[in-house]
């Protein structure tokens, strides 16, 4: 069967829509009485009556009662009495509450415990011999709850004999239940198929005398056909004979409702096979739809059957849509009970798995009902399926389909049907050209509104699933989510939807001069580069999407122990104290923090990665990576050196010329090469330069003489022409060159630029003529409209420069607000420990997030920060005696704490080397005035949301807090086996050093960064790009004389010397630069 429309390349042909909202989606058959139709109309009228006692009260449009009047929001998953037999059986098997009315009167819990299948068979055989009816109910319950373990063929023969020859109806029913449990095991099912159990069960379904056993026989067949590996044993017989028997039994009016429900579940499992799915679509859909309309109890199983049908090909999807199944399932999604709603949502999830089904789903507007159910329902399973469908819609939709998604969302919560009318008019081509612009503008506004509604729905879903409670000011008060215990599938899909929406172009303006609409690039988890929409991300933050950070913090607190802060904030940021910790190698005495709990399963780690990816989007939009080209620069240096080596090797192999290796100083600097020769060579270069300048001057003068001749022929000399008329344009420049003065000479030299290496002359741009100046406003308007800049006139360039400055200030303000919000939410404490995770992608994402938050708002901040640090250093040199004593007391206190962790012998050696006097035990440290040292109270490690100081740069605050809370953890990425993790951690350290000042540098040194970078360079010489990054970071770090001393004490000079002997290329060049930097300047070796 060929699908209509889309499979052949045409548009999907949809059935006509009902005229009103309350009109039936199908026409009742003749068997439906007229009285039932009248009652249905009465019920529809009753449904339209509003029960709101305050109809005039203002209501939130998103929570309007008119939108949820027909929605079933009640969850009945925990109520076993309202569940179907299949759902109740699933709960009794251990995935839910196991309650039974038969065993509720028992005082012991032994009746609820499942027994083995062999014991049940023995009980049934004994019961058949006795013929007593007292314990039939208890044995039946045991048979329904027994374990489906593999048993011998003898026991299976006993069960089959009981189902066919037993005269006791109760024993036969219990035997069928036990046989159903046995068929759940694949080995038992294979043995049953070898006994020809399928023909026996099909014959039983045809026997009207065995009507009481039809439902249990269908349940046994259902368990057998669930084993796809055994399909060769029964598929052919089911196609030739079994399917007609099942449809006949289903359509029979004499069958009980329980039997029809069991047959519906059996057909649903048979629909998993493509051969049977095609037969169902070709010959059985009318009977199936009749069962859907007549028997509400069968809607759950039939909705599952429809889900299996649409999972095959586009042909089966088209066959399902031909019978208007989607309309009936959409009604069931809103109005039926929780069990049917779950199966209906599963149908839409399966439908959106294919492009053809997704197109039909969006074109028919069924997304509106799905979103309404998602927002209103209280069932977690239904919410999970709805959010999964929405996730697949985002992942598979084209930009035009995403626009339809936003329009349907806006229409779903505004009660406006203009979306459908606009879509129908667009498909029929009946739009009026005069109103096209206004319609587009209106559609853009509604699309933007739909984006915001979607974001609010997703954030509300996260709040519900994570059990997040808010206070009156809409701030998060508590998070009830428990990692490793609670379900996370819905949260994972909701976070994935937020990440997809952050990269949408829908709803964003096209004015390229606005900073809010800038498209920031970000690399996703799969290595794909995404363009972020800053407008959407700002609205996410406004709606509370940063709750993902609190959700991630639950995993951080669960896995990583909180490191206690042993020093006050003043001690942690004191340069002298940090220098002492670095010299004493305190970082070696502290054991590295481990995991408080084992890592979760890979599926849950994938959820953590999605949380980090979402946080990374927020961090990326809050900063501009100023050192984003450092990797390319390193790679270009390596390639340039490689090309130079290849050219040198080619020249050495060429037969032209003869090269001699220089082995001694005399060969490199012969005695004939004296100072006089060098001076003579420089004089020759100066003479050549003078000759070229004279030639240029002569040519300019010659050209100016021609202009003078033309003017003199007109009767005016150049002198009178200059004095009587104000020169402008080109004439001014030429006239000035005929009468050079000191100022004019300066102008002439500024116009001519000489490059000695290329021997080229470059002229500056000439002033713009008056005719071109009149075109400036028009060009300026066109450029601003188009949104790009090119080679413009000086006036226009000045205006554009002013616009760019204003845009830059606006971007800076947006970045500051975003960064401040992230800092206040404690992003550094939440993300920092994840650098130590064993998952490489999680480590890389965490390092990239941290790299974004430490960026300054502008590079000038770094310069100002270092100048202020230097001023403080100079001021500290002239401290008063009391302040100096206080600083020394803090240093002695830290030193005493460090020495207390050493052995007695080592502590005595260090005291003698440093000249520190021992302090009696129990005597507190005192200052020069005899008072105790006052320090700030220790920070609470559980509080991950600090206060922001407006006077300090936000990038510096993020950096120093990151090092204080997770400094030792972010360095573990350097020892990772993954190259990407090493690169991300190196870039993080490079930016920390490049944008930091002496406090940041000394804090890094106290954490042992110098030693770790030295080991990294030593162990990763083969990867030149990583070694160069580490070496550049090390060279920038040891800028202070104290840091140079630490580097030398770690054996840095010997390391550089050894590496120079064995390295080559760009790495060798940087090693020489680093060694020169260490040996020269203050604190150097020389």
Q: How far apart are CA 575 and CA 686, in angstroms?
A: 52
CATH class of 114-254: mainly alpha
Q: pLDDT value at position 54?
A: 35
**CA-CA distances (angstroms) from residue 210 to 102, 167, 177, 260, 261?**
26, 12, 15, 15, 17
**Structure-derived torsion over alpha carbons of residues 316, 317, 319, 323, reported in degrees to the nearest 10:** 140
8 Å CB contact between 335 and 324: no
Written as six digits, the tokens of 1077 are: 């930097």
First to last CA, the chain: 89
Strand partners, 523: 529
Helix (H) or strand (E) holding 906: helix 904-914
Q: pLDDT value at position 143?
A: 78
**What is the DSSP track for 4-29?**
SGGGGTS---PPPPPSSTTS-SS---
Residues of the chain with pLDDT under 50: 1-37, 39, 42-43, 45-69, 80-112, 416-434, 509-518, 656-659, 661-663, 665, 668, 672-675, 703-768, 772, 783-792, 880-881, 919-942
Number of C-beta neighbours around residue 527 at 10 A: 8
**Identical topology for domains 114-254 and 859-917+942-1079:** yes
- H helices present in 481-574, as ranges: 489-502, 534-543, 547-559, 569-572
Q: pLDDT value at position 267?
A: 94
Written as six digits, the tokens of 717 are: 């000399």
8 Å CB contact between 264 and 298: yes
8 Å CB contact between 1043 and 1081: no
Domain locations in the chain as residue ranges: 114-254, 859-917+942-1079
Q: pLDDT value at position 285?
A: 92
Written as six digits, the tokens of 156 are: 């299976």
Cα-based angle 280, 283, 285 (whole degrees, multiple of 5):
65
Pairing between β-strand 476-479 and β-strand 468-470 as defined by DSSP bridges: antiparallel
Q: How far apart are CA 75 and CA 958, in angstroms?
A: 45
Q: pLDDT value at position 893?
A: 67
Strand partners, 146: none
Q: How far apart are CA 763 and CA 1009, in angstroms?
A: 50
Cα-based angle 680, 683, 684 (whole degrees, multiple of 5):
90
**What is the DSSP track for 279-305?**
HIIIIIHHHHHHHHHH-GGGHHHHHHH
- For domain 859-917+942-1079, say whether CATH 1.25.10 is its number: yes
Q: pLDDT value at position 497?
A: 93
Q: pLDDT value at position 492?
A: 93
């Amino acid at each position: 069967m060929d699908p209509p429309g889309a499979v052949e390349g045409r548009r999907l042909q949809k059935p006509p829509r009902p005229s009103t909202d309350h009109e039936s989606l199908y026409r009742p058959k003749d068997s439906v009485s007229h009285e039932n139709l009248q009652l249905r109309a009465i019920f529809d009228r009753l449904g339209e009556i509003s029960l709101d006692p305050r109809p005039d009260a203002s209501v939130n449009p998103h929570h309007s009662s008119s939108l949820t009047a027909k929605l079933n929001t009640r969850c009945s998953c925990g109520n076993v009495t309202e569940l179907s037999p299949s759902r109740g059986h699933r709960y009794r098997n251990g995935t839910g509450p196991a309650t039974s009315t038969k065993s509720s009167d028992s005082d012991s819990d032994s009746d609820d415990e499942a027994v083995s299948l062999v014991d049940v068979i023995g009980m049934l055989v004994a019961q058949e011999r006795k013929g007593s009816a007292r314990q039939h109910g208890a044995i039946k319950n045991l048979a329904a709850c027994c374990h489906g373990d593999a048993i011998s063929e003898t026991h299976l023969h006993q069960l089959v004999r009981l189902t066919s020859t037993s005269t006791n109806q109760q024993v036969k029913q219990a035997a069928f239940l036990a046989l159903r449990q046995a068929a759940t095991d694949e080995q038992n099912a294979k043995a049953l198929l070898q006994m020809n159990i399928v023909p026996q069960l099909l014959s039983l379904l045809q026997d009207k005398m065995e009507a009481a056993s039809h439902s249990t026989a269908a349940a046994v067949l259902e368990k057998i056909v669930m084993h796809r590996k055994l399909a060769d044993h029964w598929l052919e017989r089911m196609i030739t004979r079994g399917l007609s028997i099942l449809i006949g039994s289903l359509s029979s009016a004499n069958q009980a409702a329980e039997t029809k429900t069991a047959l519906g579940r059996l057909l649903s499992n048979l629909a998993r096979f493509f051969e049977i799915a095609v037969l169902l679509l070709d010959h059985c859909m009318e009977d199936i739809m009749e069962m859907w309309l007549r028997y509400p109890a069968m809607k759950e199983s039939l909705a599952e059957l429809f889900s299996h049908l649409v999972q095959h090909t586009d042909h089966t999807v088209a066959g399902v849509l031909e019978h208007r199944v989607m309309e009936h399932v959409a009604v069931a999604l809103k109005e039926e009970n929780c069990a049917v709603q779950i199966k209906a949502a599963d149908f839409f999830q399966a439908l959106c798995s294919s492009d053809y089904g997704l197109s039909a789903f969006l074109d028919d507007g069924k997304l509106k009902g799905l979103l309404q159910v998602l927002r209103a329902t209280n069932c977690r399973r239904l919410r999970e399926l709805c959010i999964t469908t929405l996730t697949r819609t985002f992942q598979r939709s084209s930009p035009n389909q995403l626009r339809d998604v936003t329009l349907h969302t806006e229409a779903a919560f505004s009660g406006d049907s203009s979306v459908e009318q606009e879509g129908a008019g667009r498909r029929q081509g009946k739009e009026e050209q005069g109103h096209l612009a206004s319609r587009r503008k209106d559609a853009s506004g509604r699309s933007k509104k739909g984006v915001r509604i979607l974001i609010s729905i997703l954030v509300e879903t996260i709040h519900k699933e994570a059990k997040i409670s808010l206070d009156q000011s809409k701030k998060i008060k508590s998070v009830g989510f428990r990692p490793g215990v609670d379900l996370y599938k819905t949260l994972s899909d909701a976070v994935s939807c937020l990440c997809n929406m952050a990269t949408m172009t829908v709803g964003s303006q096209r004015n390229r001069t606005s900073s809010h609409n800038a498209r920031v690039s970000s690399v996703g988890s799969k290595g794909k580069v995404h363009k972020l929409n800053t407008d959407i991300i700002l609205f996410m933050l406004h709606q509370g999407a940063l709750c993902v950070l609190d959700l991630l913090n639950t995993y951080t607190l669960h896995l990583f122990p909180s490191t206690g802060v042993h020093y006050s904030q003043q001690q942690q940021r004191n340069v002298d104290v940090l220098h002492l910790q670095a010299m004493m190698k305190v970082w070696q005495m502290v054991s590295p923090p481990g995991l408080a709990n084992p890592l979760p399963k890979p599926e849950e780690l994938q959820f953590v990665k999605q949380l980090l990816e979402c946080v990374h989007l927020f961090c990326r939009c809050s900063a501009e990576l100023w050192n984003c080209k450092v990797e390319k620069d390193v790679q270009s240096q390596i390639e340039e050196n490689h090309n130079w080596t290849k050219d040198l090797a080619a020249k050495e192999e060429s037969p032209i010329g003869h090269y001699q290796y220089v082995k001694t100083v005399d060969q490199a600097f012969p005695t004939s090469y004296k100072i006089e020769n060098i001076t003579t060579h420089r004089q020759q270069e100066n003479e050549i330069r003078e000759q070229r300048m004279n030639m240029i001057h002569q040519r300019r003068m010659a050209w100016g003489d021609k202009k003078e001749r033309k003017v003199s022929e007109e009767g005016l000399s150049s002198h009178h022409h200059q004095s009587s008329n104000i020169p402008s344009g080109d004439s001014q420049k030429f006239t000035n060159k005929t009468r050079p003065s000191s100022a004019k000479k300066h102008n002439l030299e500024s116009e001519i630029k000489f490059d000695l290496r290329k021997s080229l002359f470059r002229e500056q741009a000439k002033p713009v003529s008056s005719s071109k100046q009149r075109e400036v406003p028009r060009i300026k308007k066109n450029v601003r409209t188009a949104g790009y800049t090119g080679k413009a006139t000086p006036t226009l360039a000045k205006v554009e420069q002013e616009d760019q400055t204003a845009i830059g200030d606006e971007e800076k303000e947006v970045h500051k607000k975003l960064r401040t919000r992230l800092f206040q939410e404690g992003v550094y404490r939440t993300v920092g420990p994840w650098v130590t995770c064993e998952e490489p992608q999680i480590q890389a994402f965490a390092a990239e997030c941290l790299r974004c938050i430490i960026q300054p708002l502008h590079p000038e901040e770094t310069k100002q920060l270092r100048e202020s640090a230097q001023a403080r250093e100079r001021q500290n040199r002239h401290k008063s005696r009391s302040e100096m004593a206080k600083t020394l007391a803090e240093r002695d206190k830290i030193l005493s704490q460090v020495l207390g962790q050493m052995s007695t012998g080592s502590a005595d050696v260090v005291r003698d080397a440093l000249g520190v006097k021992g302090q009696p035990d129990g005597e507190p440290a005192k200052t020069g005035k005899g008072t105790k040292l006052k320090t700030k109270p220790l920070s609470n490690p559980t509080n991950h949301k600090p206060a922001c100081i407006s006077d300090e740069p936000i990038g510096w605050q993020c950096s120093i807090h990151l090092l204080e809370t997770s400094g030792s953890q972010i360095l573990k990425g350097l020892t990772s086996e993954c190259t990407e993790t090493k690169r991300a951690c190196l870039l993080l350290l490079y930016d920390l050093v490049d944008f930091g000042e002496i406090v940041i540098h000394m804090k890094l040194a106290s954490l042992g960064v110098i030693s770790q970078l030295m080991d990294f360079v030593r162990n990763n010489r083969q990867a030149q790009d990583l070694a160069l990054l580490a070496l550049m970071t090390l060279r920038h770090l040891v800028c202070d004389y104290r840091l140079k001393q630490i580097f030398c004490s770690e054996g840095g000079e010997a390391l550089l010397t050894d590496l120079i002997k064995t390295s080559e290329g760009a790495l060798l060049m940087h090693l020489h630069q680093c060694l020169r930097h260490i040996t020269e300047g203050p604190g150097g070796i020389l």
